[in-house]
Amino acid sequence: MKNKTKGTNAERELIHLLWESGWAACRVAGSGSMSYPAPDILASRNGVVFAIECKTTKKKQQYLEKEEVKQLLEFAQRSGAQPLIAVRFSHEPWYFLTPSQLKETQALCGVTAKTAKKLGLLLNDIF
Protein backbone atom coordinates (compact mmCIF):
# COMPACT_ATOMS: atom_id res chain seq x y z
CA MET A 1 0.00 0.00 0.00
CA LYS A 2 2.90 2.35 0.73
CA ASN A 3 4.10 2.35 -2.92
CA LYS A 4 0.61 3.23 -4.12
CA THR A 5 0.47 6.15 -1.67
CA LYS A 6 3.93 7.32 -2.76
CA GLY A 7 2.84 7.23 -6.41
CA THR A 8 -0.42 9.05 -5.70
CA ASN A 9 1.41 11.76 -3.76
CA ALA A 10 3.92 12.19 -6.59
CA GLU A 11 1.09 12.50 -9.12
CA ARG A 12 -0.62 15.13 -6.96
CA GLU A 13 2.62 17.06 -6.59
CA LEU A 14 3.06 17.11 -10.37
CA ILE A 15 -0.54 18.25 -10.87
CA HIS A 16 0.05 21.21 -8.55
CA LEU A 17 3.22 22.13 -10.48
CA LEU A 18 1.34 21.92 -13.78
CA TRP A 19 -1.48 24.17 -12.54
CA GLU A 20 1.11 26.66 -11.22
CA SER A 21 2.65 26.65 -14.72
CA GLY A 22 -0.69 27.59 -16.32
CA TRP A 23 -1.82 24.13 -17.41
CA ALA A 24 -5.06 22.34 -16.56
CA ALA A 25 -4.22 18.91 -15.16
CA CYS A 26 -5.98 16.03 -13.45
CA ARG A 27 -5.30 12.51 -12.27
CA VAL A 28 -7.05 9.79 -14.23
CA ALA A 29 -9.19 7.64 -11.97
CA GLY A 30 -8.45 3.95 -12.35
CA SER A 31 -5.23 4.37 -14.32
CA GLY A 32 -3.43 1.05 -14.22
CA SER A 33 -6.39 -0.79 -12.72
CA MET A 34 -8.95 -1.03 -15.51
CA SER A 35 -9.03 -2.88 -18.80
CA TYR A 36 -8.70 0.28 -20.91
CA PRO A 37 -5.44 2.16 -21.35
CA ALA A 38 -5.21 5.31 -19.25
CA PRO A 39 -2.32 7.60 -18.28
CA ASP A 40 -1.72 8.78 -14.72
CA ILE A 41 -2.26 12.44 -15.61
CA LEU A 42 -3.85 14.43 -18.41
CA ALA A 43 -2.57 17.98 -18.88
CA SER A 44 -3.81 20.49 -21.43
CA ARG A 45 -3.58 24.13 -22.41
CA ASN A 46 -4.71 25.91 -25.57
CA GLY A 47 -5.47 22.68 -27.43
CA VAL A 48 -2.18 20.95 -26.54
CA VAL A 49 -2.76 17.75 -24.56
CA PHE A 50 -0.23 15.54 -22.81
CA ALA A 51 -0.89 12.02 -21.52
CA ILE A 52 1.62 11.49 -18.71
CA GLU A 53 2.81 8.34 -16.97
CA CYS A 54 4.47 9.29 -13.64
CA LYS A 55 7.24 7.49 -11.79
CA THR A 56 9.28 8.41 -8.74
CA THR A 57 12.13 6.51 -7.15
CA LYS A 58 14.95 6.72 -4.62
CA LYS A 59 17.10 4.52 -6.86
CA LYS A 60 19.43 5.57 -9.69
CA GLN A 61 17.18 4.00 -12.34
CA GLN A 62 13.45 3.70 -12.97
CA TYR A 63 11.77 0.89 -14.84
CA LEU A 64 8.34 0.66 -16.41
CA GLU A 65 6.67 -2.48 -17.62
CA LYS A 66 6.49 -2.56 -21.41
CA GLU A 67 2.73 -2.94 -21.06
CA GLU A 68 2.52 0.43 -19.24
CA VAL A 69 4.34 2.12 -22.11
CA LYS A 70 2.24 0.30 -24.70
CA GLN A 71 -0.97 1.44 -23.02
CA LEU A 72 0.27 5.03 -22.76
CA LEU A 73 1.04 5.01 -26.48
CA GLU A 74 -2.36 3.50 -27.32
CA PHE A 75 -4.20 6.09 -25.24
CA ALA A 76 -2.18 8.90 -26.81
CA GLN A 77 -2.83 7.63 -30.32
CA ARG A 78 -6.57 7.30 -29.76
CA SER A 79 -6.94 10.65 -28.00
CA GLY A 80 -4.50 12.76 -29.99
CA ALA A 81 -2.49 13.51 -26.84
CA GLN A 82 1.29 13.59 -26.78
CA PRO A 83 2.70 10.80 -24.58
CA LEU A 84 5.24 11.65 -21.89
CA ILE A 85 7.00 9.82 -19.10
CA ALA A 86 7.53 12.01 -16.03
CA VAL A 87 10.22 10.66 -13.73
CA ARG A 88 11.67 12.05 -10.52
CA PHE A 89 14.72 10.70 -8.78
CA SER A 90 15.56 11.54 -5.14
CA HIS A 91 16.45 15.19 -4.63
CA GLU A 92 16.01 15.88 -8.34
CA PRO A 93 13.36 17.80 -10.29
CA TRP A 94 10.83 16.12 -12.56
CA TYR A 95 12.26 15.09 -15.92
CA PHE A 96 10.02 14.53 -18.94
CA LEU A 97 10.91 12.00 -21.63
CA THR A 98 9.19 10.56 -24.64
CA PRO A 99 8.61 6.80 -24.61
CA SER A 100 11.18 6.41 -27.41
CA GLN A 101 13.87 7.81 -25.09
CA LEU A 102 13.51 4.87 -22.70
CA LYS A 103 15.94 1.98 -22.99
CA GLU A 104 14.19 -1.31 -23.69
CA THR A 105 15.13 -4.63 -22.16
CA GLN A 106 13.34 -7.91 -22.79
CA ALA A 107 10.50 -7.21 -20.36
CA LEU A 108 10.97 -3.61 -19.23
CA CYS A 109 11.67 -0.08 -20.36
CA GLY A 110 13.89 2.05 -18.20
CA VAL A 111 15.83 5.22 -17.68
CA THR A 112 18.76 6.06 -15.44
CA ALA A 113 19.04 9.32 -13.53
CA LYS A 114 22.06 10.22 -15.70
CA THR A 115 20.12 9.65 -18.93
CA ALA A 116 17.09 11.56 -17.62
CA LYS A 117 19.31 14.57 -16.85
CA LYS A 118 20.91 14.35 -20.29
CA LEU A 119 17.84 13.72 -22.48
CA GLY A 120 14.86 14.78 -20.36
CA LEU A 121 13.26 18.17 -20.33
CA LEU A 122 12.40 20.06 -17.16
CA LEU A 123 8.90 21.29 -16.38
CA ASN A 124 9.62 24.85 -17.56
CA ASP A 125 11.19 23.56 -20.79
CA ILE A 126 8.21 21.50 -21.87
CA PHE A 127 5.31 23.23 -20.18
Please list, in sequence order, all residues whose beta carbon lies within 8 angstroms of the beta carbon of residue 38, skipping any fewer than 6 positions away.
Answer: 28, 30, 31, 32, 71, 75
33 catalytic? Reply is no
- For residues 80 and 71, what is the distance between their CA atoms, to the nearest angstrom? 14
Catalytic residue among 31, 35, 44, 100: 31
Calculate the CA dihedral of residues 33, 34, 35, 38 and round it to 10 degrees: -90
Q: What is the CA radius of gyration of the chain?
A: 13
> What are the catalytic residues?
31
